[in-house]
Structure formats: structure tokens, C-alpha cells
Structure 1
Amino acid sequence: MGIGSVSPGVAGVLGFLAGTIGARAVAEIGTGTGVSGLALLDAMAPEGVLTSIDSEPEHQGAARTVFTAAGHANRRARLIAGAALQVLPKLSDGAYDLVFVDGDPLEYVEYVEQGLRLLRPGGLLVLHHALAGGRVADESNEDDEVVIIREALAAVKESEELSPVLLPLGDGLLVARRA
């Protein structure tokens, strides 16, 4: 479909994290073709529900096919077509165990704000592409996407409510636990 998916390592860590915290409610920003969503669904509590947001309905159709083929009931994946920054404010505060961010990098700062609002205490915020192909570490790189990702990483680091760790998996995976 012309889009990249998370690496097997990132999918493995997502599943590990969801399983470790016994996730029952997960929000995903960027459905893609369902690779990350499937990793999350496979590891979540059996009654858990994945809420996945994507602006491309055809991506969600592909993801639904993947979830169904893997044996997950339709009720376990709530797929919402729309712009993430319009949908996220409608989701309930403190209702999610894990929020996975794999959407538009130019909106990462807002995703961090929304993710923090959505997470329950002890919940996890996970940002994909946190290293932006190594470009984040290059201080001379002033591309918009890189600058915004740096700002999002700084917001996580400076938050008194989040304890982060940066994992060198895929394109960088930032995991932060909410106090």
C-alpha cells in the first residue's frame, strides 16, 4: 500500500509491553496495515480493545483483514477513520493503558499532549520514529519533521509525569511510563 510498517523488533516490544502491563485499552495513532495493531491485540488481555486512528480508510480496511485473519473478533478493534488531532480529544481521559504514536511526525508534540491526557497512571506512551533515521541526533538538521520530533522528545523528557527510555529499535522507540 506504499506505507512502511513497524519492524519485527518494534512489533515484538509493543507486544511485550502490552502483555507486561495487562493492557485492556490501547490507543494507536496510525493504523497502517495493521502490523503494530496485531502485535498489540495478540498481547493484550483477551477482552482488551484496540482503538486505532488513521486518516486513510483503505489502511484500516487492510488492518481489519489482518486482525480477522489472525482470529480477533471485530469488537476487539475499534478503527476510527479521521484526523488524529480531531479524534483524540473525543477519547476519554485516563482510560488507556498504552498509547502508541506512529502518525504524522509533524503532529508529535500534540500527540504527546493527548497521550498524556489519555493514559491512566502507570500507563505507557510509546513513540515510533523517535530517532528519525538518525537525523534527530544531527544538531545541524533543521528539517521541520526533525525539529518537531526533537520538541516532542523534549516534552516527554521535561514532563514530571513521564519516565522515559529511548530504545534503539527500528527507527527509534521512545517508551515513557506515566506516574
Structure 2
Amino acid sequence: MSGYEANERFVQESTVEPEHIARARAHALELGAAPISPAVGAQIAVLAAASRALNVVEVGTGGGVSGLWLLHGSPRATLTTIDSEPEHLGAARAAFAEARIPAARARFITGRAADVLPRMNEASYDIVLIDADAEGVIEYVEHGLRLVRAGGTVLVPRVLAGGAVADPVRRDTVTTAYRSLIQEVQTSPAVFGALSTTGEGLLQLTTVTPIT
């Protein structure tokens, strides 16, 4: 085992997932809605806590695991979560109820992100997490950057596509989309970008606050 693999394994094994999130993970896996890893969940919880997020949007509910991690980091936040699969939203509702999250702090929207995001208010959210429909990731990130306030954050898990992005031979649609996204944000004057290799990868984008 290489040093990198040993580090990765240590990080995954050292991350402690709260019991209510672990139960939601088990239900999500039963549905076939692959949730983010605990290590990535812990990262987004820290980002939510550090930014004191109050208004959060999640694209891709996936049984509620990522939403629960976001609210774990920022217990006062209100989460809007979007998914085209009613069954996934139903599982998330049940997980949130089990975690005793007040109904007023979670809004569940059934629909395609491409249809819902254009109707949402710009510069109104602290965090937008995008974890759905990899083929449309660039479009969703563009919407996310429009929706977050100045200094807000857009998060994209799974951005390394299971190692495919680092393989120059891979040129399928999903891999190309993620690779293009990573390359574009590195040179954009509008955002600060950081790429974490923990778990399935996490791209973090923070909009640049204009100097006044």
C-alpha cells in the first residue's frame, strides 16, 4: 500500500459519523442513492460551520446524508434540497424527522435541477452543494455561483470521478465535464478554488468579494 493510499484509508477510518447520519446512509444505500463519504461529509460540515451558513441549497438529495452533514455543521441553517427522485426525497424527509430537525428548516423540491435552479433568487444563499447529474455539472455550478452571496461557497463532491479525471486516457462525457470544470475555475478571477482529494474528492469554490 502506498503512502497516499495509507493516508486515505486512515482518514476514512478516523472519521466518526453521527449515528443519525449513519442510519440515513444505510437507508440511502438500500435505495441505491450513493451518499457522499463520511470524510467528505465532515469537510462540508466544517465549511458550513466556518461560514456560519444560514441559507443552504443542495442539488441532489440522495437520501439526506449530505443535507444532514450540512445541518450538523450549521444547526441554525435552512436547507433547500432538490431531487428528481421522489423516493430519495421521501427517505430524506424520514431521516430529517428522525434527527428531529424542525420542518421549517428543510424545504424539499421535486424536480430537475435544470428547471428549478433558474427560478431561485440570486445572491441569496451561503452555500450551494451540487451532487447530481454529472453531465450537467458545469451548468449547475454556473447557477450555484449566481445563487450564492458575495463570499459564498459552491461545493462539488465526487469531482475526481473515482480516479477517472486524473487518467489522461479517459475522455468520456462525465470525466471531461469534471476535468473542464476543475481547469476553468483555477484561472477564473471570479472565484477562489481548492480541490480536496479526500474520499471521492471535493471541489470548493468561494466567490471573490469585490473590494470597495
Q: TM-score range by the shorter chain?
A: over 0.9
Q: Structure 2 length as normaliser, TM-score?
A: 0.82
1:21 alignment counterpart: 51
2:185–2:193 Cα contact (<8 Å) kept: yes
**Following superposition, which runs of at least 4 residues in structure 1 exceed 4 angstroms of deviation?**
none
Q: Residue 102 of structure 1: CA displacement? A: 0.4
Task: For 1:54-133, list aligned pairs within 5 A.
Answer: 54-133=83-162
Unaligned runs of 5+ in 1: none
User: Deviations 1:55-95 (Å, cap 9, x if unpaired)?
Assistant: 00110110011111111011111110000010001111000
Q: Residue 154 of structure 1: CA displacement? A: 2.5
Higher helix residue share: 2
Q: Residue 45 of structure 1: CA displacement? A: 4.6
Percentage of pairs with the same residue = 42
Q: Residue 176 of structure 1: CA displacement? A: 1.2
Equivalent-residue separation in structure 1 for 2:75 and 2:52 (angstroms):
6
Moved more, 63-72 or 145-154: 145-154
SS in 1 for 2:193: strand
Q: Residue 149 of structure 1: CA displacement? A: 1.1
Equivalent-residue separation in structure 1 for 2:188 and 2:115 (angstroms):
24
2:33–2:88 Cα contact (<8 Å) kept: no
SS in 1 for 2:53: coil
Unaligned runs of 5+ in 2: 1-30
Asked whether 1:52 is paired with 2:81, we answer yes
Which residue of 10, 19, 24 corresponds with 2:40? 10
Equivalent-residue separation in structure 1 for 2:98 and 2:145 (angstroms):
32
Q: Residue 3 of structure 1: CA displacement? A: 1.9
Asked whether 1:38 is paired with 2:68, we answer yes
Equivalent-residue separation in structure 2 for 1:123 and 1:68 (angstroms):
28
Equivalent-residue separation in structure 2 for 1:42 and 1:138 (angstroms):
35
